[in-house]
Structure 1
Amino acid sequence: MTSPEIFDRAARRRRRDRIVPRYAEHAFLREAMVEGLAERLDSVSRRFTDILDLGCFDATFASPTGARIARCDAGSLFARAAGGVQADEDRLPFADGAFDLVVSAGVLDQVNDLPGALTLIQRVLRPDGLFLGAFVGGTSLPKLRAALRSAQIDRPTARLHPAIDLVSAGDLLGRAGLTLPVADVETLSVRYASIDGLLADMRGMGASNLLTGRTPLTRGELARAADAFSAAADPDGRTTERFDLIFVTAWSPSPDQPKPAARGSGRISLADALGRFPGAA
């Protein structure tokens, strides 16, 4: 029995195609993610030859010198412009072991079967291959969430996507068979004159409501949400909204990777260690 899908796949593809012409005007979150992934990649003393850019958008992730890069996106226009393939992240068409590096910026928070997508990432990686990912999660958009809650008096409905936190991100990597998982967060604050600017950014970056069974806000609900958002403004009239960018790093299993020490293999007992410090219990 398959689980019900959270996100509307067809609507997601249509919206990604729709945002292509003006995507660059709203791409600041993905730009920050790509920059963060590039910094993490620079710290790895490995040469990668075959790379998958998963959820490529406008293909701004630059491959290391001499590496071959394949692009993949759920939207046909992004995929076509990048010379890549169209596919959902949890339905990848690539062969096992095709890549030694997979990068993904800004899409994993919109995947119906995220554990399945991560398992597929692990499968398309060669042994000791690297996965670098980034997405919006954690406690992002607190002002917008509060405004929408206060606006929906008669029919409370989910309007924003469920968020993945740091602990869950690390757990999902391990469940997918990836090793040495690391998850960290960088916070980006953006100031808006009104809720309209925030909603325009979310639409422009392809992050608007894609939940199945969604219904549009009524005029009254939107007006109440706008008032609540403005009520949370700073003294200069602008409201500061927060985006938590979750970064994840993990490796495909390999016999050559370092293993954690076996339980009981330490040479110094806890009692002896504590005894070395005056006043220790």
Structure 2
Amino acid sequence: MAVRPPPRIFAPTRRRSARLRALTRQAAPDAARFVEEAVVEDMIERLQFTRLAPPRSLVIGELGRALSDYLSITGDVVRVDPFSFDEERPLDSGPFDFIANLGTLATVNDLPGALLHLRAGLAPDGLLMVSLVGAGSLAHLRGAMIAAEPNRAAPRMHPAIDTRSATALLERAGFRRFVVDSWPISVGYRGLDRLVEDLRDQALGNQLAQPGPALSRAALERARAAFLKTADEEGRVVERFEILTLTGWA
């Protein structure tokens, strides 16, 4: 019986381009870094709580160096990014005592397969920790995109995984013990354009294989107006990034 390939939701070339563009944009002192900064702080706190000091670690998708620098205090660290690494293929090195993935699994086509490969790259009792922007995120942006073209359902935003699905995926990948939890990052915006810039800074922009056409000028103005309609009394639209953290032991 032939094995059906996973649906092609995301374009690998667009994923690589988004990461490369984000790395370039991160050179600017005012580039947005709040998602990765919060995720790294959270991962370090979890490692400290479990008193884990892994001798050999793999860090995937880190735009900065904070997590890698922390891990290098106690062991060796291999650091890779998706423009030179394919999460949907087996790892070519390992085993690792700890593997961290910062955000990139949100845009792979074969997420079950990627988790299997990561588990296979762990040493016995090794730990995988994955953080990604999950379901429930960017509700105001989603509403603005719908308002921009109310009579045309163009694909503009990524489907996102929720806690229940993530739990099932870790079980399917064969992790011995696993935990999935969710926590928010809330950020205030005074306009749609700044939000879009922040998403590009952090490689969170559109990476769909078949994205919708560019918004017309009129549609863009409708989107901006719809976004600001949700502002609070101080003129800020508070967007919520729902961060999923997947933790699994081999």
What TM-score do you get using the length of structure 2 for normalisation?
0.91
Verify: 1:19 aligned to 2:16, yes or no. Answer: no
Match of 1:237 in 2: 235
Q: Quick check: 1:134–1:246 contact (8 Å CA) kept in 2?
A: yes
Match of 1:209 in 2: 206
**In the TM superposition, what is the alpha-carbon distance from 1:64 to its structure 2 partner?**
5.0
Q: Quick check: 2:96–2:123 contact (8 Å CA) kept in 1?
A: yes
Query: How many angstroms apart in 2 are the aligned matches of 1:208 and 1:58?
Result: 18
Query: How many angstroms apart in 2 are the aligned matches of 1:92 and 1:31?
Result: 28
**In the TM superposition, what is the alpha-carbon distance from 1:19 to its structure 2 partner?**
2.2
Match of 2:246 in 1: 248
1:176-195, aligned counterparts within 5 Å?
176-195=173-192
Q: Quick check: 2:148–2:222 contact (8 Å CA) kept in 1?
A: yes
Deviation sequence 1:119-169 (CA, Å, 0-9, x none): 001000011100111111020001111111121123211211111111111
Match of 2:48 in 1: 42
Verify: 1:54 aligned to 2:60, yes or no. Answer: yes
Between 1:187-196 and 1:155-164, the stretch displaced more is 155-164
Match of 1:117 in 2: 114
**In the TM superposition, what is the alpha-carbon distance from 1:250 to its structure 2 partner?**
0.9
Query: How many angstroms apart in 1 are the aligned matches of 2:144 and 2:129?
Result: 33
Match of 1:63 in 2: 71
Unaligned runs of 5+ in 1: 76-85, 253-281
| Structure with larger RCO (C-alpha < 8 A, sep 6+) | 2
Query: How many angstroms apart in 1 are the aligned matches of 2:105 and 2:6?
Result: 18
Q: Call closer, same or farther: CA 1:235–1:47 in 2, change over 3 Å.
A: closer
Equivalent residue letter for 1:10: T
Verify: 1:146 aligned to 2:143, yes or no. Answer: yes
Match of 1:222 in 2: 220
**In the TM superposition, what is the alpha-carbon distance from 1:235 to its structure 2 partner?**
1.1
Q: Secondary structure at the match of 2:26?
A: helix
Unaligned runs of 5+ in 2: none
Query: How many angstroms apart in 1 are the aligned matches of 2:53 and 2:206?
Result: 39
Cα RMSD, aligned residues only: 1.5
**In the TM superposition, what is the alpha-carbon distance from 1:56 to its structure 2 partner?**
2.4
**In the TM superposition, what is the alpha-carbon distance from 1:94 to its structure 2 partner?**
2.2
Q: Secondary structure at the match of 1:209?
A: coil
Q: Secondary structure at the match of 2:17?
A: helix
Aligned length: 241
**In the TM superposition, what is the alpha-carbon distance from 1:46 to its structure 2 partner?**
3.6
Q: Secondary structure at the match of 2:71?
A: coil
Deviation sequence 1:35-71 (CA, Å, 0-9, x none): 1111111111343111000112233312152300001
1:260-271, aligned counterparts within 5 Å?
none
Q: Call closer, same or farther: CA 1:60–1:224 in 2, change over 3 Å.
A: same
Query: How many angstroms apart in 2 are the aligned matches of 1:237 and 1:57?
Result: 31
What TM-score do you get using the length of structure 1 for normalisation?
0.82
Match of 1:258 in 2: none
